[in-house]
């Protein structure tokens, strides 16, 4: 009995060992990597539409701000005065202007003969000079205003991507500028229709729409530049001063600087005529240097879009024989677009590059600083 009792625990131990050897071993739980665990399991619609939410909120704030109302009133008054003065000049030459095609477009961009008789600058001149103020006004405090109010960290704490902030603010500013331009053009066109009693044709409306897109890209460049200053500079007042200084340089002093540089690069002899080789070379240098400014690109494209008789964006390089040999006729819209496509593409590229620099600078900054 004692031997059987001693052998029973040993038999039980052997049986348990055999069961453990036959049972499959369960692998230990694997640890999830930190990078995978940090990723959200499901990216909801709030992540994809973050920039739209910010753009809608900023656009609503712009619509209810005194900034937009004041700029709209200033542009509407100056534009209406310019069109009214141009309409008065056209009415004084009603006999010569009778039968002129695209007469409605002359209200916005009159030819040089009418500009000399008009004491008030044209509508497109006002837009080219005052339009950048729209972009600067909506962009100089877009980012540093959030920093000064300490709301940028709270904004980025929401379930949105970081670049949604800068994208939404740029889209909201561009939409506000487009709305102001459309309202001002409608008011100015109504003044012209009431004064002269002419109705624009479908071709005129299409050209005005193309010019609206062109002006939007031109002002969008200054919006992107002001946004870049807002990203790089901590104070809103400093970024506004930098943007306004660049605007004054491009609008007022750039032509003087270009003339000095062109005279140094390609000097002109005192006894040279307008058709001499050194004069033509100096003119080419000036034209190429002036096209570094978005103002010059906008002027050249505006002239060809709103004036169907313009066949080239460099009239200073056209000789008298070439001008006399050209057949005087109106260009269609697609032909005018072929004339201005380099300026159009250059404006879009300048706007995208400027916004891209501000985008990269914002993504590399410390938000909590």
Using H for helix, E for strand and C for coil, what is the string for the chain? Answer: CHHHHHHHHHHHHHHHHHHHHHCCCCCCCCCCCHHHHHCCCCCCHHHHCHHHHHHHHHHHHHHCCHHHHHHHHHHHHHHHHHHHHHHHHHHHCHHHHCCCCCHHHHCCCCCHHHHHHCCCCCHHHHHHHHHHHHHHHHHCCCCHHHHHCCCHHHHHCCCCCCHHHHHHHHHHHHHHHHHHHHHHHHHHHHHHHHHHCCCCCHHHHHHHHHHHHHHHHHHHHHHHHHHHHHHHCCCHHHHHHHHHHHHHHHHHHHHHHHHHHHHHHCCCCCCCCCCCHHHHHHHHHHHHHHCCCHHHHHHHHHHHHHCCCCCCCCHHHCCHHHHHHCCCCCCCHHHHHHHHHHHHHHHHHHHHHHHHHHHHHHHCCCCCC
| pTM for the whole structure | 0.80
List, for residues 172-216, the tens digit of each pLDDT value.
999 999 999 999 999 888 888 887 777 888 888 999 999 999 999
Q: Is residue 89 part of a domain?
A: yes
Per-residue pLDDT of the chain (369 residues; tens, 9 = 90+): 444 445 545 555 565 555 455 545 545 444 443 333 334 444 444 445 788 888 999 999 988 888 888 888 988 888 888 888 877 777 766 555 555 566 788 888 777 666 666 667 788 888 888 899 999 999 998 898 888 888 888 888 888 888 899 999 999 999 999 999 999 999 888 888 887 777 888 888 999 999 999 999 999 999 999 999 999 998 999 999 999 999 998 888 888 888 888 888 888 777 666 667 777 787 888 888 888 889 989 988 998 898 888 877 775 555 444 444 455 577 888 888 888 899 999 999 999 999 999 999 999 988 765
Number of domains within the chain? 1
Q: Is residue 229 part of a domain?
A: yes
Q: Is residue 245 part of a domain?
A: yes
Q: Is residue 33 part of a domain?
A: no
- Check residue 123 and give its pLDDT: 87
- Check residue 174 and give its pLDDT: 94
Q: Is residue 41 part of a domain?
A: no
Q: Is residue 20 part of a domain?
A: no
Provide the domain limits for residue 335: 48-319+326-363
- Check residue 44 and give its pLDDT: 45
Q: Is residue 28 part of a domain?
A: no
Closest listed residue to residue 133, CA positions, set 212, 196, 218: 218
Q: Is residue 4 part of a domain?
A: no
């Amino acid at each position: 009995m004692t031997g059987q009792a001693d052998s029973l625990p040993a038999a039980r131990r052997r049986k348990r060992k055999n069961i453990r050897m036959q049972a499959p071993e369960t692998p230990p739980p694997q640890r999830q990597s930190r990078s995978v665990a940090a990723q959200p399991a499901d990216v909801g619609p709030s992540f994809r539409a973050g920039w739209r939410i910010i753009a809608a909120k900023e656009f609503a704030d712009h619509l209810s701000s005194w900034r937009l109302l004041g700029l709209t009133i200033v542009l509407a008054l100056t534009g209406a005065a310019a069109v009214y003065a141009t309409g008065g000049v056209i009415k004084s030459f009603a006999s010569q202007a009778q039968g002129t095609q695209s007469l409605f477009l002359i209200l916005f961009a009159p030819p040089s003969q009418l500009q000399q008789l008009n004491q008030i600058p044209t509508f497109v001149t006002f837009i080219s000079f005052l339009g950048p103020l729209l972009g600067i006004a909506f962009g100089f405090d877009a980012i540093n205003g959030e920093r000064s109010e300490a709301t940028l960290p709270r904004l980025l704490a929401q379930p949105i991507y970081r670049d949604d902030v800068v994208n939404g603010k740029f889209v909201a500013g561009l939409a506000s500028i487009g709305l102001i331009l459309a309202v001002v053009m409608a008011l100015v066109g109504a003044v012209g229709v009431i004064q002269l009693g002419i109705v624009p044709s479908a071709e005129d409306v299409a050209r005005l729409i193309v010019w609206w897109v062109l002006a939007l890209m031109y002002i969008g460049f200054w919006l992107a530049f002001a946004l870049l200053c807002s990203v790089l500079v901590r104070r809103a007042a400093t970024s506004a001063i930098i943007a306004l200084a660049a605007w004054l340089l491009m609008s007022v002093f750039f032509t003087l600087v270009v003339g000095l540089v062109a005279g140094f690069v390609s000097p002109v002899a005192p006894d040279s005529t307008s058709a001499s080789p050194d004069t033509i070379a100096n003119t080419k240098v000036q034209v190429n240097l002036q096209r570094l400014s978005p103002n010059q690109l906008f002027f050249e494209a505006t002239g060809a879009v709103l004036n169907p008789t313009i066949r080239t964006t460099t009239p200073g390089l056209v000789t008298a024989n070439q001008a006399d040999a050209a057949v005087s006729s109106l260009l269609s819209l697609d032909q005018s677009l072929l004339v201005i496509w380099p300026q159009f593409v250059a404006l879009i590229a300048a706007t995208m590059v400027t916004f891209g620099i501000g985008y990269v600078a914002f993504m590399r900054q410390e938000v909590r600083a």
